[in-house]
Amino acid sequence: MIRAAARFLQDSADSSDVARVGKEMAHNSDEYVREQMALLLGKIGGAGDTRLITAQKLVEKDEHPRHAMLLASARLRDPEAQQEFLLQLFVDDPHLRAERVMDIVYISDRSLVPKVAPLLDDTRPGKNVGPSHGPYFIRVCDVTVDALDKLLGHPFRFVGIAGRRYEPIEIEQVKAAIGVGPRR
């Protein structure tokens, strides 16, 4: 029941709920609820709320809530959190890169676009999108196109469809659209 309420709050809470959300993030025994409350705090909070998130992150023991707290702080434009996020994004593990690059949609900061642009050149398999977990991998660059398409509001000349492999010409169009490749 509490988990369902945590999901419901994502669409209904506002800045007047910051104190209650922060309290749940800090004291709830369910790691999923703490994770959801951190993400919610990133959506409804202000820059000053990064202190609350940072303090909780220091004592948080579970991985998913800790990651959510990092994302929430990055969304609230905390420079240290954004730097930590970028360090995590550029680890050499293509599966982790593919997982993390989608986080830019939540962070919702267009200033990160040039910083993630190098991932458009990473053609290693990163995410399995095969039906029933069958082996069909899209590359890190494909997941990056999907993330940029969502973050930027579908600005490309082609239709972005999550889970597909993009053609080299489409990836070049993305680079041109974000200002890191030749214009066509």
Is the domain of 70 the same as that of 12? yes
Q: Which pLDDT band holds residue 184 (cuts at 50, 70, 90)? A: very low
Domain that holds residue 145: 104-177
Is the domain of 6 the same as that of 72? yes
Asked whether 21 and 13 are in contact (CB, 8 A), the reply is yes
Is the domain of 6 the same as that of 71? yes
Least confident range of 40-49, 82-91, 106-115: 40-49
Is the domain of 69 the same as that of 125? no
Average confidence (pLDDT) over 154-182: 90
Q: What is the pLDDT of residue 6?
A: 63
pLDDT > 70: percent of the chain? 91
Torsional class of 91: left (φ above 0), alpha (ψ -120 to 50), beta (otherwise): beta
Last residue of a domain, one of 50, 81, 112: 81
Residue 18, in any domain of the structure: yes
pLDDT > 90: percent of the chain? 72
**Higher pLDDT among residues 128 and 45, named by residue:** 128
Q: Which residues pair with 137 in a beta bridge?
A: 128
Asked whether 171 and 141 are in contact (CB, 8 A), the reply is yes
pLDDT at 30 over 80: yes
Residue 182, in any domain of the structure: no
Is the domain of 44 the same as that of 112? no
Q: What is the pLDDT of residue 10?
A: 66
Residue 89, in any domain of the structure: no
Q: What is the pLDDT of residue 64?
A: 96
Is the domain of 67 the same as that of 123? no
Q: Which pLDDT band holds residue 5 (cuts at 50, 70, 90)? A: low
If you average pLDDT over every residue of the chain, what do you get? 90
Is the domain of 76 the same as that of 138? no
Tokens of 179: 């200002």
**Higher pLDDT among residues 13 and 86, named by residue:** 86
Q: What is the pLDDT of residue 182?
A: 58
Q: How much is the CA Rg of the chain, to the nearest whole Å?
A: 18
Residue 97, in any domain of the structure: no
Average confidence (pLDDT) over 130-145: 92
Give the CA distances from residue 82 to residues 46, 133, 172, in Å, rounded to whole numbers and listed in that order: 16, 32, 26
Distance, CA of 33 to CA of 117 (rounded, Å): 33
pLDDT at 67 over 90: yes
Q: Which residues pair with 139 in a beta bridge?
A: 125
